[in-house]
Amino acid sequence: MREFESPSSINLYLLCPRKYYYRYIKNLIPPEDIILLRGKILHKVVEEFFKIKEISNNYEFEFKVIVLDLFNKNWQENLGIIKSFNLDDNVLKSYYEESKEMLLNWTGYLNNKIKQTNLEPNQAFSMLRGEREVTLFSPLLGVKGVLDAVYEDKIVDYKTSARDTITNDYRIQLGIYSLLFFEKFKRLPKSASLYFFKFGEREIMINEDLVKEAKEKILFVKSKTITEDKDDYPKNVGKYCKWSTGKCPYFDLCFPEN
């Protein structure tokens, strides 16, 4: 049994126990692709952006310049890896342009948030910063995770997903984070948000039922991941094995005959 699970590993087991086995028991880490790397770059841009000490009254223009500079810097730093994906130039350009658009949308979201506070820009910006990259953990439950942002009564996680729906696995993820928030601060957050770079913020209210459900999922997964016997991790054969544009990174291990 692993000492600590994460919201991601919990959800992975619930999706497919065999996939969990290959990833976390056998430690077979899938190769990085443009989707994963782009997500890391956007998260890094946000992390570096919030290191700004102060802003001017011309913050709307400043934000655009800063995020684009940070994005280009991080893109260039990872250019060797990006080229190793051997993507068509037009495909690569579309990812590059779409990523810039996502970040510009995010600055628009920040601008609106600052205006809604009716505070002086630096006060509002400081409030929006919150606590960044916060590690929360529960030794008792054996779960830990890193949140992109934590506020007085709210938690936020950033996503680069192609859809903006808060699916059940996202609900469970936010429920686990809320449970970890409770372990640290002895209170539940009032709400939890996913900020989808492509679409904007989606928020849910946190209640005891969701946290209870999240705790039950944690205990269930912990009880099922005691052994290292592959047969104890059954395959969940379905749409996530193979689809029109790709397949699970462990597909060939699960179905060698194909």
3-state SS, residue 248 = coil
Whether pLDDT at 9 is above 70: yes
- Stretch (H or E) spanning 85: none
Whether pLDDT at 1 is above 80: no
What is the rounded average pLDDT of the residues 1-8?
Answer: 92
pTM over 0.85: yes
Confidence of residue 258 (pLDDT cuts 50, 70, 90): low
Whether pLDDT at 37 is above 70: yes
How far is Cα 257 from Cα 229, in angstroms, rounded to an integer?
22
**pLDDT > 70 in the chain, percent:** 100
- Stretch (H or E) spanning 207: none
What is the rounded average pLDDT of the residues 111-118?
Answer: 95
- Stretch (H or E) spanning 147: strand 143-150
What is the rounded average pLDDT of the residues 79-103?
Answer: 96
For the chain, which residues make up each domain, given as ranges?
7-30+132-224, 51-129
What is the rounded average pLDDT of the residues 78-91?
Answer: 96
Confidence of residue 119 (pLDDT cuts 50, 70, 90): very high
Count of C-beta atoms within a 10 Å radius of residue 31: 8
How far is Cα 68 from Cα 73, in angstroms, rounded to an integer?
8
Whether pLDDT at 234 is above 90: yes
What is the rounded average pLDDT of the residues 108-128?
Answer: 95
The 10s digit of each residue's pLDDT in 96-110 is: 999 999 999 999 999
Whether pLDDT at 196 is above 90: yes
Count of C-beta atoms within a 10 Å radius of residue 97: 10
Whether pLDDT at 6 is above 90: yes
What is the rounded average pLDDT of the residues 133-150?
Answer: 95
Q: Tokens 């510009």: give the residue.
A: 104
The set of residues, in sequence order, having a beta carbon less than 8 Å from that of 137 and lying 6+ positions away, is 4, 143, 144, 145, 180, 183
Whether pLDDT at 257 is above 90: no
Confidence of residue 245 (pLDDT cuts 50, 70, 90): confident
The set of residues, in sequence order, having a beta carbon less than 8 Å from that of 16 and lying 6+ positions away, is 235, 236, 240, 248
Worst-scoring range by mean pLDDT, 244-248, 249-253, 254-258?
A: 254-258
- Stretch (H or E) spanning 79: helix 79-84
Whether pLDDT at 162 is above 90: no
Q: CA dihedral defined by 228, 146, 63, 98, rounded to 10 degrees?
A: 20
